[in-house]
Amino acid sequence: MGAPRLMVVKIGSSTLVDETGALDRGFIRSLCDQLAALVSGGTRVVVVSSGAAAAGRDILGFAERPNDIATLQACAAAGQARLTQAYADVLAERGIPCGQVLLTRRDVMDRDAFLNARTTLTRLLELGAVPVVNENDTVSTAEFAFGDNDMLGALVAALVGAELYVICSDVEGLFTANPQDDPSATLIEHVSEVDHSLTAIAGGSGTSYGTGGMSSKLRAARAMLAAGVPMVICRGRREGVLLEVASGRAVGTRFEAPDGSTHEGGRKLWIGLAEVPRGTIALDEGATRAVLERGASILPVGVVSSSGGYERGDVINVQSSSGDLIGRGIARYSSEDMSRVRGIKLDVISRFLGEDRAQPAIHRDDLLVF
């Protein structure tokens, strides 16, 4: 297995800081050594880095993570410059430029903005730079926040067409149970499908320095499986871990779809990753099978419930008959109309509401199945 031509590396806050909560510049130096080795070997790298708020806490004198949004955003503002400069200084010593890219979900919700972000990142890579991406925490609101950088990294990986997405965490990977509670827990080395059994063993948030736990990493993995981008969760402080992963060595947990799997295109990935879902529909068993096994459109007759307030053209979540999130798509009915037509066949809808109203709930061309 050859080294990837383009990889995205996400570094979590808990990996970046030392025991006092300050940026660990020794670790950043060793990380940049690995980045430089990858670049010199022909691999382009995008870094998605957490840590701005943690760095700002050190600057502003907070011993613990603040609870209010305004103070957290102030910490991010104070820490973002220090975070990027820490990367830039070390990379510059190795003759590699560094470019900062700050994003919110609002920046990529519009399709044109999504494509423009891709153009900027691609051009930075062409110019030999290592882009350092972070969520623009200083201005993002709860509605438009990514919530954690695991999903932001997944979006960036899909955006630039990465061949590998690596999440450097403070854990070795995904285990059969929480190893802190169950000494018999074992590392799961390879995953080809994120199903209910895996989501059931994922815990909540991680440390006081980060927002993403294993559940957020599994959401990112589900998106990467749909995109056809292999993803690895590994311990970021393992010596030379990026070089090991890039060389194909078995490190951590690798998520990769089986050979021959169908991968979704850019537009569907944008629907599933960039847009903010405005509501949810749940499907009956037959509709669930039709979507998962045959790639069918979702017809109103297969919808058993609808929640949230959404309009025609909004992105909504799709749940299976067992309650699992199986995809996202663009609704062809408003939530009000969906409540009227759910459970009804198209010919009946056409007869009573007119042919123009007899539409799939979500057309297969507008549906990203995880």
Say which range, 106-115, 189-198, 272-281, has the weakest mean pLDDT: 106-115
Q: Look at residue 21 and tell me whether its pLDDT is greater than 80.
A: no
Please give the pLDDT value at position 266: 67
Most confidently predicted of 133-147, 207-221, 238-252 = 238-252
Rounded CA-CA distance 332/311 in Å is: 8
SS3 7: strand
242: nearest Cα among 12, 45, 17: 45
Rounded CA-CA distance 77/227 in Å is: 33
Please give the pLDDT value at position 190: 94
Contact 292, 336 (CB under 8 A): no
Rounded CA-CA distance 258/192 in Å is: 6
Bridge partner list, 167 = 10, 233
SS3 242: helix
Mean predicted confidence (pLDDT) in 178-200: 85
Please, what is the average pLDDT of the chain? 86
- Give percent of the chain above pLDDT 90: 47
Contact 337, 370 (CB under 8 A): no
Please give the pLDDT value at position 92: 96
Mean predicted confidence (pLDDT) in 263-291: 83
Most confidently predicted of 41-50, 131-140, 343-352 = 41-50
Please give the pLDDT value at position 76: 84
Mean predicted confidence (pLDDT) in 66-72: 83
How does residue 204 score in pLDDT terms, banded at 50, 70 and 90? very low
Rounded CA-CA distance 256/222 in Å is: 10
Say which range, 3-17, 34-48, 133-147, has the weakest mean pLDDT: 133-147
Rounded CA-CA distance 228/231 in Å is: 9
Rounded CA-CA distance 331/308 in Å is: 12
257 token code pair: 């779809």
Contact 102, 83 (CB under 8 A): no
How does residue 155 score in pLDDT terms, banded at 50, 70 and 90? confident
Interacting residues of 185 by C-beta distance below 8 A, sequence separation 6+: 175, 176, 177, 178, 179
Rounded CA-CA distance 356/176 in Å is: 50
Backbone phi, psi, residue 26, to 5°? -65, -40
Q: Look at residue 291 and tell me whether its pLDDT is greater than 90.
A: yes
Size of the chain, expressed as the number of residues it contains: 370
